[in-house]
Amino acid sequence: MHVEPMFASAPARSGMYESFYLRAVSASEALGVWIRHTVNKPPGRRARGSVWCTVFDAARGRPFMHKFSSDALRVGGDGWIAIGDSEAGEQSATMGARSASGECGAAKWSLRIAPEQAELRHLPREWLYRSRLPRTKLTSPAPVARFDGELSLKAGRTIELDGWLGMVGHNWGAEHAERWIWLHGVGFEQAPEAWIDVALGRVKIAGRMTPWVANGALSIGGRRLRLGGLGARGLRVAERGDGCVLSLPGERGLTVQAHVQAPAQIAAGWRYGDPGGGDGHDVVNCSIAALELTVALPGEPARTLTSSHGGVYELGMRERDHGVAIAPFADE
């Protein structure tokens, strides 16, 4: 996995954000881990790092959520990110291509990462990663990966990750989309090797919201098929805080119907700041969401894939009435 951190070379006058994140989910129970390393840099100010750790457990209800921030921010030894200074008595965390370790509140983890497939570049053209627009860029350095290691909570609970499936993601930009959905899924009963990774966004231009645009891929039967793209026809979105229904067009006549259930009582809620200032976004994330896909390709029988808790559903929005409790911390 080649990942180039952007924060180290960001112009001093510019505002930007950048995130390196992972999610992993148990095959046997609705238990998942989500860890995010974030850089926030307001215009004309120094960048600051934050680490967000969330443990989802349907049997226990509301997730464990914690965050710490630090001015100690650097490119890690293997080229990704390190936040915090343990020698100064701070909490700290690092993330790279093959491992992630750290401490955040009551949580402490040491994880090994084994990518199973090559990077997914969500944007369909490389020049889009170099251009001013879109103002949010994203990739999945490992759209599917295996995780081993452990995460412990100071209350005496230790979670063993033994070949858990998940992914590694990276995004950055000058501003967040006005509204977004991220959907990731693994652990499908009918096709254990399959995965889906797609991001959808709406932006505001001259005070008006654009239609939804989707970019991502479905991997099934050894084939990786692109989903969405600018100008793709047939995209339909019905989203709420506790799930969504999507109709996703893809290449070769592919259509994917996705039904996602993310009950509010097991979802996490955060507030993300805007790099250029403003009120920010409420973000609802359930990393143990139930997911059903109906996959249709011309000339092939339609297939239904179900994953009882292997999905991630994330909705970023301006409204506050989504019904999910927001954690008592936010981006600076």
Any domain includes 286: yes
Q: Report the number of secondary-structure helices (H) and strands (E) in the chain.
A: 0, 24
Boundaries of domain holding 170 = 14-317
pLDDT score, position 134:
87
Distance in angstroms (rounded) separating the CA atoms of residues 101 and 77 = 13
Closest CA to 311 of 281, 250, 266: 266
The series of mean pLDDT values per 10 residues for the chain, 332 residues long, is 84 89 98 97 90 97 96 85 90 95 96 97 93 91 98 92 98 92 98 98 90 97 95 94 97 97 96 78 97 97 98 96 89 68
Any domain includes 325: no
- The answer to whether the CB of 173 falls within 8 A of the CB of 17 is yes
Q: Give the count of domains, the chain.
A: 1
Which SS3 state, helix, strand or coil, does residue 252 take?
A: helix
Q: Indicate which CATH number applies to the domain containing 175.
A: 2.40.370.10
pLDDT score, position 111:
98
**Half-sphere exposure of residue 138: CA atoms within 13 angstroms, side-chain side:** 23
Q: Which amino acid is at 240?
A: R
pLDDT score, position 276:
67
Any domain includes 322: no
pLDDT score, position 88:
84
Any domain includes 21: yes
123 to 69, 131, 140: CA distances (angstroms): 30, 12, 11
Any domain includes 323: no
Any domain includes 309: yes
Distance in angstroms (rounded) separating the CA atoms of residues 193 and 187 = 8
pLDDT score, position 44:
86
Give Cα 28 to chain centroid, integer Å: 22
- The answer to whether the CB of 247 falls within 8 A of the CB of 259 is no
pLDDT score, position 332:
62
Any domain includes 3: no
pTM of the model: 0.95
Distance in angstroms (rounded) separating the CA atoms of residues 35 and 57 = 15
Any domain includes 81: yes
